Structures are given as C-alpha cells and as structure tokens.
Amino acid sequence: MSLPNASEIRPAAPATVPIVPAEDAFAGPLAVVGRGAPLVMVLGGAGTGKTTFLHALRRHGGSKQAFLAPTGVAALQLGGQTIHSFFGIPPRLVDPDEVKPRPQKRRLMKKLERLVIDEVSMVRADLLDAVDRSLRLARGDPSPFGGVQVVLVGDFLQLPPVVPMAEREILGRLGYEGPFAFDARVLRETEVARLPFLQVYRQSDAAFVGHLADLRAGRQVERAVAAINAASFRAHREGRIPVVLAPTNARVDAYNRRGMETLTEAGRIYEGKSEGEFDLANDRLPVPEVLVLKVGARVMAVRNDPERQWVNGSVGTVIGLAPDRAFVRLDGAGVVEIERTSWERIRYDWDEATGGLAAKVVGTYTQLPLVPAWAVTVHKAQGLTLEDVRIDFDSGAFAAGQAYVALSRARSLEGLSLVRPLRAGDIRIDRRVAAFTMAFEESSTGLEAPRFT
C-alpha cells in the first residue's frame, strides 16, 4: 500500500473557481423564462455563466421541468437524461415525420411544462424536430413542442453535432439547410426569446478576452493569432506543469502513456462498478472502467467535491494510493483524499404524491473521479477552467470551434503555452453558424433580459 505521511494529509483550501455572477444576476433571464415564452434560447461563449444559469433554473423553475442533453456524458454532468432516452428516439438520423411517441412516455409528456436542453450546439436539426413531433402527438396539441416551453442552452460556435457525410446528404433531401438545431423546422413556427450571455467570467484580461472573442467569431483572425503567439509560443511558465490539450485521442493517449511509463512503481488498478441501467460495454464513461494510477501520476478530478476542496478540472499529482482512494497534491493547494464516487443515470417519471416530475435513479457507475492528466482531448476539456494549459494542435484542428474551445480553457495568457505557433488555418469557422450567432448576440428579449455586457 503506497500512502503519504500523515503529516502531509491536510485539507486543501477551497478550490479556486472562476468568478461567476451571483444568482440574482439571473433575475432577468429567469423572469423571461418564467413569463412562459414558448421557446427561449440562451447562447454565450465559454465562461459566460451558462452552467450557473442552469443551476438557478433548476432551483427556481418548479417541479414540472426536465433537463436533457444530447450525449450520455453531458447528461451525467448535467444531472439529467439524454434526449434519446427521454423520448425513446433511436440514436441515428430520424425523419421527424415518422416519429411516434412510445405509449409509456405519453403520460409523462402530458404533464411536462418545461424542457431544458443543454449543449444545444451538438443537437441536430432532425433530433429537435423529432422532439417537437413527439410532444405534439403525445399531448394532442398541434402548437410547437405541444405547448411545452423549451429552453435551449449552449454555444453554436463551440463543438458542432457529429454528422457523417452520407447523413448530411439525407438531411438535405429532407429539406434541411444545415444540421444545426437552429435549422430545425419547428424554429420557423415560433418566435424565439433570445438571451445572449456576453460577459466573460473565466478570464479577467480584457485583451485576452478580446482575442478569444475574435477567434470565436472568425474576425480579425490574423491579428488575434499573432497576439496569442507572441504571448504563448514558448516554454511553459517555470514551476508549473500544464495539462496538454490535443485534438485527437491518439495524441492524448501517447502523452499519457509516456508520462505513466516514466514512473517506475507498479501502481494500482481501480475497477469501476456499474449497477442497474448502466451498460459498461456501450456507455461512454466519465472515467475508464479500468483505471491505472501510480504515485507521481498527473491526474485531473472530473467531479466537484461537496466540500469544495476540488472541482471538476482540478489538477494535481498522486502522492499515495489505497484500495479505494487516492491522495493527490493539488497544484497550488494542499493534499486531498479522493474517494470513489458514483455517477447516477436518471429517468424522469411522474410522481403522483408530489404532483411533479421525479428524477428516478435507474443506474449508477462508481469509480475514482480521476483521469490521467498529462494530456486531455479538447472535447473532454469542454466546460473546464484550467490554470495551466499547453496546447498541441498537431496537424491542426479538425472541427469548427475546436481551437476556440482549447484556447478558452486557459484562465490567463500567463498560464497558456503552445507547442507550435497557432495558425490562421487552425481557426475553423462555419460561416452560417457565425452569422446566426452574431445576429443573435446583437438582440435580446425585453428589458428584463440583460445581455451581461
């Protein structure tokens, strides 16, 4: 058993987290939602408070709302259910006109008053229209979404939906101009209440925030690239070990394998355990089923600690291992004891006793909430705030928004370094998405919906 000295184990200070708006800052947006606009769209770049808004809406939005996400991992982080499982829609391209709600889902849909969908940038147009048709049929109401209020949250200029070329062609034949949620037919039938979140809380350097905004929108790219290269194409700042962000699993795996191979001890194997409706063979897991850790390994926490000693994205070095826990010296903080934790898969049901929706736990996955963190993929880093980041774009970003997501994880230019200079060609922008987003951000709904500028 490899354990630290008792004198080393002391509570860390509360984890540093980005400055976020106080809950009362969301009074305007919550009021817009509360007024019952049929469709509310909340869009904002990285670090603008969207997650905090979701927490506020969950606390104050009542018991007849469901929180959904397009992927299993996103649903686990949200504490909600996937869109596909909630509606019983197969995880493939669907012709919305052929969707029929499952009989066992009808009762729940009839009781639903609000549907909140996070990570809307990854929701395809055909899926959103399938949601619309399911609700109309189940509720016997021909109005958009069957009269259920829908709140869409995310950023179309971050990671897009996955659409193979063959399916993209079929979407065109079905009459879609593009694959994004804003291309859905249902959006042509209802007015959208627009809530742009523009104030950035993750970074405080106005120049860095401005460069990131330019790269996100695809404007003044050459100038922004030159400024970031001038500040960050260098060795990483002395005394800090950064997390490397790379576009592909292969690149990340190579970094983590090399890091682990430099450590001489055998290490310890932690096996994940699933119960109920949690399929280890097919579900994408927040932590691998077989996790190998060694003393000296660089790791990242992938859950928030209830006592706030660490947060999702806290990075540190393993200094001791026990059968059901690891001791980690967090960067810039103390040593913490991280035990196994459980992720819950939920399913919404109607609760007659409370007269509201009940989030029933139907499966759990238990494992140490740690992953090797010499490197992490850009996709898995979405939503994180990192103090020290080194970006390896390798042969280049392969998806629109990927470079922006990577760069915007850094809290500061001082904590950002680049393996190779950033190139204008790394900044991939879908011009239709950029035009939609810029028009959206120039508008807002009502005086009670501040734009957080």
Q: How far apart are CA 80 and CA 73, in angstroms?
A: 10
Q: How far apart are CA 163 and CA 308, in angstroms?
A: 38
* pLDDT value of position 216: 93
SS3 assignment, position 30: helix
Q: How far apart are CA 24 and CA 165, in angstroms?
A: 45
Closest CA to 200 of 212, 192, 189, 191: 212
Note the helical H segments in 140-265: 165-173, 206-217, 221-232, 249-261
* pLDDT value of position 444: 66
Place of tokens 């409370």: 354
* pLDDT value of position 452: 34
For residue 285, what are the contacts with CB-CB under 8 A and spacing of at least 6? 73, 272, 365, 367
Q: How far apart are CA 308 and CA 162, in angstroms?
A: 34
Q: How far apart are CA 219 and CA 441, in angstroms?
A: 15
* pLDDT value of position 123: 95
Determine contact, residues 39/144, Cβ cutoff 8 Å. Answer: yes
CA-based diameter of the chain, in Å?
A: 67
Give the pLDDT of the chain (453 residues) as one tens digit per residue.
566 654 455 555 544 444 555 566 778 889 999 999 999 999 999 999 999 999 999 999 988 999 999 988 888 888 899 999 999 888 788 788 888 888 878 888 999 999 999 999 999 999 999 999 999 999 999 999 999 999 999 999 988 888 888 888 899 988 999 999 999 999 999 999 999 999 999 999 999 999 999 999 999 999 999 999 999 999 999 999 999 999 999 999 999 999 999 998 889 999 999 998 876 555 678 899 999 999 999 999 999 898 889 988 999 999 999 999 999 999 988 899 999 999 998 899 888 888 888 889 999 999 999 999 999 999 888 888 999 999 999 887 677 788 999 999 999 999 999 999 999 999 988 899 999 999 999 876 543 333 333
Task: List, in sequence order, every residue forming a beta bridge with 39; answer none if it has no partner.
Answer: 150, 192
Determine contact, residues 333/265, Cβ cutoff 8 Å. Answer: no
* pLDDT value of position 357: 87
* pLDDT value of position 96: 81
For 50-59, write each residue's pLDDT tens digit. Answer: 999 999 999 9
For 30, other C-beta atoms within 10 Å of its C-beta total 21
Q: Supply the pTM of this predicted model.
A: 0.87
* pLDDT value of position 446: 46
